[in-house]
Structure 1
């Protein structure tokens, strides 16, 4: 099983500026999944590793043989994944622009019929929980339906150090138990969906919208 952890932050912060808390949360999740699921293929997607250019142009809008190599490689990773962990701070009570920008470069057929897990965080007390509300709709439209359990990390700088390790040893077990509920649901649904995809190709069964947006229209 391949699980992508997608980080929704492009902040480049050096001390004494505010730390890049999302990277800590993503690393904590990667460590949790790798320890709990040693046979899994866990990969962190950091938007700072990709140059999307100044003008937005999605992967599917490029002519054949003209797709930037890095964009094509990321599309292959998204297509090959069995599940997604979406990590976002909260901006104006919504998901981060960085996460939406990265995900919107690719058509929903790459994400579809696979589960996702919503993870939010904040420097304050709410843990980005209001962003999670909008993320449910956003991810559902991409086709990677979120599992019911969500993960919220308030006061992330106090919970995790720069490497994503728990600052308080006596709190590590409680946090790991908390993460377990969401990651267990994610893996259960990924197993179920992956097994069914081997028997029935949902893209062939339902049909993808690949030619024209009007394919979505109701009959006149």
Structure 2
């Protein structure tokens, strides 16, 4: 199973303090997947590793062979993945602009017919839960429908250290059980979808929107 964990943060400066709190959450989840599902291929996708530029230009808008090689590589990873984990803070009760910016560089057909797991966090008490509600619609439009289990990490700096490990005062086993609920559901759906995709290719059955926005239109 191929799983991509998307980190929805590019803020390295302070405030907030500590900076890039989401890196702790994403690292904790990466460790969880590697410990619990050793046979799976799990990779952390950090938006700072990809040249998305100040002016938005999606990967599919480049002429053939002219896209940055990093975006080509990420497009291939997204297409080959079986499932996604989306890690986001909350901005104005919505998902991270950094996460939306990175995901929107790629067409929905790359994400389609695969499940996703929503993970949110915050420095305060709510754990980004309001952002998670909006993420359901956003990810559904990409075609990677979120599983019903969600993970929320309130006061993330008090839960996880800079290495993504639970602080000593935390109940590590309870947090592991909490991660497990989301990851188990994600991988159950990913396996089911992959098996059915081998029987019926949904891209051939339904078709992708590839050349004209009017493909979405109702008949005249």
Q: CA separation of 1:47/1:118 partners in 2, compared to 1, >3 Å: closer, same or farther?
A: same
> Does the CA-based 8 Å contact 1:109-1:208 persist in structure 2?
yes
Q: CA separation of 1:56/1:185 partners in 2, compared to 1, >3 Å: closer, same or farther?
A: same
Identify which range, 11-20 or 51-60, moves more after superposition: 11-20
Superposed displacement of residue 50, structure 1: 1.2
What is the correspondence of 1:1-220 to structure 2 with a 5 Å cutoff?
A: 1-13=1-13, 17-168=17-168, 171-220=171-220
Superposed displacement of residue 210, structure 1: 1.0
Displaced runs of 4+ in structure 1, greater than 4 A?
Answer: 14-17
Structure 1 Cα separation of the partners of residues 70 and 107 of structure 2:
16
Aligned-pair Cα RMSD in Å: 1.3
Residue ranges of structure 1 left out of the alignment (5+ in a row): none
Q: So what's the TM-score if we normalise by structure 1?
A: 0.97
- Deviation per residue, 1:160-200 (Å, 9 max, x gap): 00010000265100000011111000000000000111111
Q: So what's the TM-score if we normalise by structure 2?
A: 0.97
SS in 2 for 1:22: helix
Superposed displacement of residue 14, structure 1: 6.6
Identify which range, 137-146 or 8-17, moves more after superposition: 8-17
Superposed displacement of residue 51, structure 1: 1.6
Structure 2 Cα separation of the partners of residues 32 and 48 of structure 1:
23
Q: CA separation of 1:97/1:213 partners in 2, compared to 1, >3 Å: closer, same or farther?
A: same
Total equivalences in the alignment: 220
Residue ranges of structure 2 left out of the alignment (5+ in a row): none
> Does the CA-based 8 Å contact 1:159-1:168 persist in structure 2?
no
> Does the CA-based 8 Å contact 1:87-1:120 persist in structure 2?
yes
Superposed displacement of residue 13, structure 1: 3.2
